[in-house]
Structure 1
């Protein structure tokens, strides 16, 4: 009987080292610890969305790292956020962070990916499926045709002021701030970037950061809950 699995992973599970299998180290030094359920499955398929992100373009291999990797793997990969080539719209192999993700994906044994592109109404406008890296490259090219704009198209050069929202990814500020990286290409040095979003969940979901807080801050937080309820 073939074995299939579908499981959601949150910050709590990412910290449980016994849930993972070590499969190797990337050329950037990231130890790749992949969830054991993936390794046990006879067929693995990542269903994901292509979008511009801080590590080039999300989708495909992102479902492996950070998707189903341990906290150790995620933190090592995120060191590459400081790489000068880690920019929105700059894909692997030039984007070091994305290349690290793709190396981890190959090591994980993920069989294939199905990637969709959404319009502003959250409707599917394109579907690409195949081996993960090839399918991701193809989906990214389609995404660029739909949504990319060259800064050379801005009348009279760069903008004095750039304004952007980030719906539907605007629940937490940690994700809602991503459009700032896009606008940086279009706004002149010394100009102004305005981010207009609701961030109903606050700066970030508390579970992402609680293990990094000093004990006194954690105790204080328990005495005085956030003004915005966390789900």
Structure 2
């Protein structure tokens, strides 16, 4: 039985009785028989519900390739962008008619070095990257409202091109269910107002309800954030999509191309096959780790671990998170304010609704978790930082278990999640 977990640079033993462990949740083994290059090329040559990209474009036409920003470097753009450019060139489009636009969303602008990292050495000699600015109203075009009343304004540079190609990667996402696909449009190249209106759909309709119940990792059914993003993308209608799927080591193990809706559906299945783990029951106690440093460098980076661990745990059960947090809370001032400056979920929710941001939502989610579960954090964090939340901070797993057994019996069922940031438990429906 696997009973070791990573914490910072260490691997520590989890001192629990094996008879109480009902499951160890790890990524599924997915056999890959092709190289990264073959996987990329196969997807480009065999797109889903679409002609090949080289047939969609024509000489004299302009193409905008929308790419991730450097915070999504795991998507390995330097591996596949050159092949997309080759395909577009094969359709008769010259380099001068190709524009690279980075889908920064609300993120900062990037450095020349970061642009080179995204394009790779060879493409960097041929092309420049333009960073989207969600606050630059002169470079945004209002297109209309979604059925959720989200005002959709999109980058003018993309809209002025004859063709829009969106790129990126697909993993579980705690708001929209899965990243990639239409997410390159909203939030990628949308206005600040558009992004905030969409993301605010992650909260329940009525004050006091907290997070919207169907907004969570791996779910698109009745997920208003997902549906709203799809509606926003319908104003733009990207001509072609290319998305990758990577494993826990960052290796490209899958790729999809073509229609941005149906190709993305194929990519979601790849992610589920790799990182979606069926469970037959939820545990009284879940012990989870992101996988050590740098994944547990700060509390902010541990949000995926918390989200996935909650999914494996019974209501009002105990969630033990191993997260060293050597660089403290992380995030920005808004996220930290959620933890430090409020005493109740109602106060936090009011502030979040008043001026929504992803950072605030992350802070709120941690605090909501402390209200709904018995959350114990094994960490080097100063416990005083979380004293206004219902999250208990201890230094060792032994201390955490001692506390857990005060609210759960010694015979409590236990689930271990050694790769919690990347694995999503899925309860089998009877």
The verdict on a shared fold, with TM-score over 0.5 as the criterion, is yes
Q: Secondary structure at the match of 2:261?
A: helix
Residue 323 of structure 2 is matched in structure 1 by 196
Residue 187 of structure 2 is matched in structure 1 by 66
Quote the Cα distance in structure 2 between the aligned partners of 1:160 and 1:143.
26
Shift of 1:135: 1.0
Match of 1:7 among 101, 112, 115: 101
Residue 163 of structure 1 is matched in structure 2 by 288
Offset from partner CA, 1:185-227 (integer Å, 9 cap, x none):
1123230230526575952257999xx8xxxxxxxxxxxxxxx
Moved more, 30-39 or 102-111: 102-111
Q: Is the 8 Å Cα contact of residues 305 and 321 (structure 2) preserved in structure 1? A: no
Q: Is the 8 Å Cα contact of residues 60 and 115 (structure 1) preserved in structure 2? A: yes
Unpaired runs of 5+ in structure 2? Answer: 1-59, 64-98, 109-132, 204-211, 337-354, 356-430
Are the structure 2 counterparts of residues 43 and 183 from structure 1 closer, same or farther at C-alpha, using a change threshold of 3 Å?
A: same
Residue 177 of structure 1 is matched in structure 2 by 303
Residue 197 of structure 2 is matched in structure 1 by 76
Residue 32 of structure 1 is matched in structure 2 by 152
Are the structure 2 counterparts of residues 68 and 175 from structure 1 closer, same or farther at C-alpha, using a change threshold of 3 Å?
A: farther
Q: Secondary structure at the match of 1:190?
A: strand
Residue 270 of structure 2 is matched in structure 1 by 142
1:186 corresponds to 2:283: no
Unpaired runs of 5+ in structure 1? Answer: 213-231
Are the structure 2 counterparts of residues 67 and 165 from structure 1 closer, same or farther at C-alpha, using a change threshold of 3 Å?
A: same
What is the total number of aligned residue pairs between the two structures? 206
1:52 corresponds to 2:172: yes
Residue 113 of structure 1 is matched in structure 2 by 241
Are the structure 2 counterparts of residues 39 and 206 from structure 1 closer, same or farther at C-alpha, using a change threshold of 3 Å?
A: farther
Are the structure 2 counterparts of residues 78 and 114 from structure 1 closer, same or farther at C-alpha, using a change threshold of 3 Å?
A: same
Larger relative contact order (Cα-Cα within 8 Å, sequence gap ≥ 6): 2
Q: Is the 8 Å Cα contact of residues 170 and 176 (structure 1) preserved in structure 2? A: yes
Offset from partner CA, 1:11-54 (integer Å, 9 cap, x none):
46211211111111111111111111110112211111111111
Quote the Cα distance in structure 1 between the aligned partners of 2:61 and 2:170.
29
Shift of 1:151: 2.6
Q: Is the 8 Å Cα contact of residues 298 and 323 (structure 2) preserved in structure 1? A: no
State TM-score, norm by structure 1: 0.79
Are the structure 2 counterparts of residues 150 and 117 from structure 1 closer, same or farther at C-alpha, using a change threshold of 3 Å?
A: same
Moved more, 181-190 or 132-141: 181-190
Residue 221 of structure 1 is matched in structure 2 by none
Q: Is the 8 Å Cα contact of residues 23 and 107 (structure 1) preserved in structure 2? A: yes
